[in-house]
Copies of this chain bind each other. A is one copy, B any other.
Amino acid sequence: MDSYNKNIEYPNFDFEVTHQSSSSGARIGKLTTPHGVIETPNYIFCGTKASIKNLSPTQMEEAQTDIILANTYHLMIQPGADLVQKMGGLHKFMNWKGPMLTDSGGFQVFSMGHGTCADEIKGRNTATKKESLLKITEEGAVFKSYHDGAKLMLNPEVSMELQHKLGADLIMQMDECTAYQVTRDYTAKSMEMSMRWGDRSLDAFDKHHNGTQGLYGIIQGGIYHDLRKVSAEYVADRPYFGTAVGGCLGGSDEEMYSILEAIQPINHPDRPIHFLGIGKIKDIFESVKYGIDTFDCVMPTRIARHGMALIKGAPNERINLVNARFRDDPEPLDASLDIPCSRDYSKAYIHHLLKAKEMLAYQIISQHNVAIINRLMREVREAIKTDTLEALRKEYLPD
């Protein structure tokens, strides 16, 4: 299939590299969308079901958030893309005024949403549940709705139509996200199918295209550098607005970064590069060196629901506020952050809220974690400009 429009343009979108590091591939960019301009590298927070867990758009703004995402898979099941469209699209529906991204829905279909992003994508979750995924063919994926058991189809045309109805600024081609344990042969065939699905996505996208959305192609190919390179060449060749890196990224950090290194020279130099589902602090420091411009991960709000707060310089990036050592700790999470959640509540109070099962705990920790990540991204951008990334990394990750 080769029917896509080779001249798709994105008149209301732009990506400009405003600074290129001399010591690595790290860069500063300006990503323009119909809902505003953001500076990159930046972090896209997960508003899975059209809501950041435990946080309102107002609270996201207080935490200086630039951009969020929602998941097409969850929204197609509840409340349905038609309802969101009828309500004026995702931005109006959730009352989020800034840029937004949606994924294709494919990742959740293939992983069924279990495990953390890092577990899934880095291949650590070898027991991925696939009960509700019924069939993958050239046509698309057939799966059962977790809501009512209805048989549903997701394919490039459906995904583009759903994402069109949802109306986010940045949208994703349909691809298959392969797991760590599959064979090289399966990965190769899947990657080739994802390229064909990419062309079908471009074709379907072009039918709806009215300048309000920018489409990303996704680089697949698992842990195999030669496959990754073929996929990266494909994405760079096609008229996508952006480049995304998806799929299984190996069993170790080294394997993951080696993949980024392999595709770096091939990636289209004028397009923003999004790293799908990756966003631990250490991942950010390494990945920006390979030119990654945006990240997304559920981590900041997910670990909050387990009582864990991101702390600059803490072992493993975080502290667990359920721990009894915080019972009478009068210190706030981070007094240097100018936001009540980080500055105005003692760890002792948050510990108490967790013990008392008060939902306010999750709100405070979630907003703090978002604020910490947004400050991190501001500091990372500054450090790229001043070539002090390694010194900043040591502040966050002293080990």
Contact = CB atoms under 8 A, between A and B. Distances in A.
Interface stretch (A45-53, A174-182, A269-277, A292-300): A45-53
A334 to B, nearest CB: 15
Given A58-B340, A87-B330, A359 B79 contact: no
Interface in A74-109: 74, 78-79, 83, 86-88, 93-95
A49 B356 contact: yes
A364 interface: yes
Interface in A144-171: none
B359 A83 contact: no
Given A78-B355, A349-B94, A360 B51 contact: yes
A327 B79 contact: yes
A224 interface: no
A328 B86 contact: yes
A345 interface: yes
A87 B328 contact: yes
Contact of A56 (B57, B78, B340, B351): B340
A362 interface: yes
Interface in A291-328: 327-328
B56 A87 contact: no
A348 interface: yes
A125 interface: no
Interface residues of A, number: 41
Contacts of A94: 349
Nearest to A93: B349
How many identical subunits does the complex contain?
Answer: 2
Contacts of A57: 340
Given A86-B328, A87-B328, A327-B79, A53 B358 contact: yes
A248 to B, nearest CB: 28
Nearest to A361: B51
A352 B54 contact: no
A51 B327 contact: no
A51 B358 contact: yes
Given A93-B346, A344-B95, A362-B359, A51 B353 contact: yes
A343 to B, nearest CB: 10
A54 to B, nearest CB: 5
A363 interface: yes
Nearest to A86: B328
A55 B327 contact: no
A54 B348 CA distance: 18
A250 B360 CA distance: 35
Contacts of A358: 49, 51, 53
A88, A360, A362, A363, most chain B CB atoms within 10 A: A360
Given A94-B349, A358-B49, A364 B56 contact: yes
Contacts of A88: 330
A184 to B, nearest CB: 39
Given A87-B328, A328-B86, A360 B93 contact: no
Nearest 3 pairs of A and B residues by beta carbon: A51-B358, A49-B356, A79-B352
14 contacts: A51-B358, A51-B360, A52-B360, A53-B360, A54-B360, A54-B363, A56-B341, A57-B340, A58-B340, A79-B356, A83-B328, A87-B328, A87-B348, A87-B349
Interface of A: 49-58, 74, 78-79, 83, 86-88, 93-95, 327-328, 330, 340-341, 344-346, 348-349, 351-353, 355-356, 358-360, 362-364
Given A74-B356, A78-B356, 18 more contacts: A49-B352, A49-B356, A50-B353, A50-B356, A51-B353, A54-B360, A54-B363, A56-B360, A56-B363, A79-B352, A83-B328, A93-B346, A93-B349, A93-B352, A95-B340, A95-B344, A95-B345, A363-B363
